[in-house]
Chains A and B, each alone.
Chain A
Amino acid sequence: MKILRNLITSIVLMLTASVMLNAQDITVIGLEGEVYVMHMDGNKKQYAQLVYGPMKNAEMIVLKAGSMIKLVNEKKEVCTINQPGDYSISNLEFEITKDQSTFGKFYDYFHSFFSSHESTESKKNYKNTVYAISRGSMVSPSLDFPIEGVVPYGRLLSLPFIWTHDCESCTYELQIYDYSTRKTVFSVKTLDQKFDLENSDKYLKSGNKYYWTVQIEGQEVDTEKVIFTMSKKADFETTISTLKNDFSLASEQISEIGKSIYILSNLEQSGLLNYSILYGFHLKEKYPNNEDINNICDRQWYDYLLNK
């Protein structure tokens, strides 16, 4: 009988303590970074991202690195946590915020008048707070490829994006947008000035219109935009082989350079400049030591960029 009575008393005490702890009216008044709150749903732990406002039935707070939380209880006491970790609500320590007395504030204010002040004309008054250095050329990156026009869809599933910018330590963000919805379809950060978009057909659909930009992280620079349209079919290889066949029928004795010039100029004349530049990349990869082919391919591309 005595054991039963003690057991009931303990349970009642535990419940009361638990209710009292949970009844603490805690409100989130400061929040930065990733902070989660843990609730108990029966025996199951449930985590949710913390938001501003009253925190009800919370058991624990989980703070990730670089996060901060400021809580206030019903007594207007404050608890600030800025170290990562798990914090039990019942163990949080709240304290009254202390403010300097009004007299103290006035004393400090008027006292500051009598502290030694150098004359504004004095050199001693000048502090080394001006950092007279600029971040190099802050012109926007020049978008080199793809250029405006039709871009071959599904070309070997990889599509290069190339830009130039006079900065050695910049982080760039390549962004490709759907032209009609203005929604980002692809975005990546890179330190390079080139990015090969693998599986391009996953992001860029046939026949759709897109535009791409490159932004410099941490810099407010007006960015250039280049609009391009994906071809309706995966026709890059077929277009090139058709031109090759036409040329072979016309003359079989012609050199590789001649063939290349014929295909490149034909593509350019047909308004398929992106095809032509891409074919140039392919030729440069195939004949890395052939200076003539390399020069022809570069010349065509640079001419366009210079006249842009």
Chain B
Amino acid sequence: MKPNQHKSKLKIHAFISSVLATLFLFILHHLPIYQIFIDPFSEAIKNHDVMDVAFSKFRNHDDPTLFDPEVFIINSEITDREQLANAIDIVIKKQAAVVGVDLLFDKPNYDKADTLLRAALQHEKVIIGYTFEETQGHTSISSDRSSEFFSDKTQSAFVNLGSNDGFSVRTFEPFHEIDGQKDLAFAVKVASYLDPEIPTILKERHLKKEWINFRRKQPGKLNSIYPINNEGLIHYAMVDISDFIAEANNYKDDYFRDKIVLIGFNGDNNSYLSMQDRYFTPLNEKYSGRSLPDMHGVIIHANIISMLLDKDYINDTSEKYLYLIAFLIFFINFMIFDKLVKKNFVFTVATARLIQVVQFIILFTISVYMITYMNRKIGFVLIITAVVLSFELYEYYHHRLQSRFTKLLNYKRTKKIKGQK
């Protein structure tokens, strides 16, 4: 056989093998059964994402431009309703664009403090958070909600965030249909006061869920520890509610103009860390193994707001491109492995594994680089599965299928030549 003919045949086999391998990968990822039995790799790394490594290790968090002057956070501490009403009145008087209250008030005492808070919450610039729960495909407002005494006649938005394990927050839904009505996420509703285009932009992106582009860490002196915010970076202005009220006169009458004020829990005092309303995010400095949750819910909302205002969205790579990349990996690896096998190295398998490790490093670097600097998320698990399976699938094709396909190709070729004669 001429070398050119051999090369062309090899390419045909590489093509057939890659198509079959990609199909196998597609079936593996779309099997309608609980995948832990057949895909333990994905299940094991469910709590991890390339995003975690990229955001925590590769981004420059000390960049002074990360400080967001448009968002001002008031730590509610142990909620004193009269203090809260007072703080809302102050920021409204000082021309805040909007006040987002990330707190639930479930039991009214019907006293003076409650009456004042109710009046403050009813201001048109105040948005109060609520949660929804999904049961058997139906979504309804959670029973764990603010009493109607407070939530009646107030503007509200849902505060639910997306997690795949109940602890790590990486996504949020901009819109959700609740009891037949499409409602806005808390961060979307709050941010739209400053930029009314935001809901339209999000609708045009046609995504049910958005990745949260975490850039800003949990502020607060007590949080200046590993793995929360070891460098003690401050990306949001945050003050405790008691200090804010005591020092309200230091803020000029228009200090909050064009500013979003978020009121939420960030710890009840300056003596010890509170673990309430605290979650894992990709900014956690310890991205693998057990760690301390690094961010309070209200700072997560602030990160979403900053992302929306900066139009700093993370774009997914479509699944069809991922399968195309997987196909290319299978194709290239088929050619490489075939050469290795034909040269009959002593350490063929070891060399193949070394090539896979190098490919892992290259693909990982590309994935991290893309998400860190280009806001482009590549489905790393799928393409790395292609790398991992490529040698085994090559061997299977080489030993079991290649001769059959060769016969088939030869038969067709002979038939074609006979036809020509």
A and B form one complex: yes
Say whether A52 contacts B237, CB under 8 Å. Answer: yes
Q: Which residue on B lies nearest to A82, using beta carbons?
A: B232
Which 5 pairs from chain A and chain B are nearest by CB?
A52-B237, A29-B67, A99-B60, A30-B234, A72-B64
Say whether A29 contacts B58, CB under 8 Å. Answer: no
Say whether A102 contacts B373, CB under 8 Å. Answer: yes
Given A49-B250, A182-B80, 9 more A-B residue pairs with CB atoms under 8 Å apart are A27-B69, A30-B67, A52-B72, A97-B64, A105-B57, A109-B57, A180-B111, A181-B112, A182-B81
Q: Which residue on A lies nearest to B235, using beta carbons?
A: A29
Shortest CB-to-CB span from B271 to chain A, Å, is 4
Shortest CB-to-CB span from A113 to chain B, Å, is 9
Interface assignment of A110: CB less than 8 Å from any CB of chain B: yes
Interface assignment of B310: CB less than 8 Å from any CB of chain A: no
**Distance A50 CA – B239 CA, assembled complex (angstroms):** 12
**Distance A105 CA – B61 CA, assembled complex (angstroms):** 13
Count: A-B pairs, CB below 8 Å: 72
Interface assignment of B247: CB less than 8 Å from any CB of chain A: yes
Q: Which residue on A lies nearest to B234, using beta carbons?
A: A30
Interface residues of B (CB under 8 A from A): 53, 57-58, 60, 62-65, 67, 69, 72, 80-82, 109, 111-113, 221, 233-234, 237, 247, 250-251, 255, 268, 271-272, 274, 361, 365, 368-369, 372-373
Interface assignment of A185: CB less than 8 Å from any CB of chain B: no
Across the interface, which residues of A come within 8 angstroms of B369, CB to CB? Answer: 102
**Distance A29 CA – B368 CA, assembled complex (angstroms):** 29
Interface residues of A (CB under 8 A from B): 27, 29-32, 48-53, 70, 72, 76-78, 97, 99, 102, 105-106, 109-110, 180-183, 217-218, 220
Shortest CB-to-CB span from B1 to chain A, Å, is 42
Say whether A51 contacts B221, CB under 8 Å. Answer: no
Given contacts A29-B234, A97-B64, A181-B113, contact A53 B365 (CB under 8 A): no
**Distance A181 CA – B81 CA, assembled complex (angstroms):** 10
Say whether A97 contacts B67, CB under 8 Å. Answer: no
Q: Which residue on B lies nearest to A30, using beta carbons?
A: B234
Across the interface, which residues of B come within 8 angstroms of A49, CB to CB? Answer: 247, 250
**Distance A70 CA – B233 CA, assembled complex (angstroms):** 10
Shortest CB-to-CB span from B71 to chain A, Å, is 10
Say whether B57 contacts A76, CB under 8 Å. Answer: no
Say whether B271 contacts A217, CB under 8 Å. Answer: yes
Shortest CB-to-CB span from B345 to chain A, Å, is 24
Say whether B67 contacts A72, CB under 8 Å. Answer: yes
Say whether A220 contacts B113, CB under 8 Å. Answer: no
**Distance A278 CA – B80 CA, assembled complex (angstroms):** 33
Say whether B373 contacts A99, CB under 8 Å. Answer: no
Shortest CB-to-CB span from B55 to chain A, Å, is 12
Q: Which residue on B lies nearest to A182, using beta carbons?
A: B113
**Distance A95 CA – B14 CA, assembled complex (angstroms):** 56
Which of A50, A76, A105 contacts B65, CB < 8 Å? A76
Shortest CB-to-CB span from A34 to chain B, Å, is 10
Which of A32, A53, A180 contacts B255, CB < 8 Å? A53
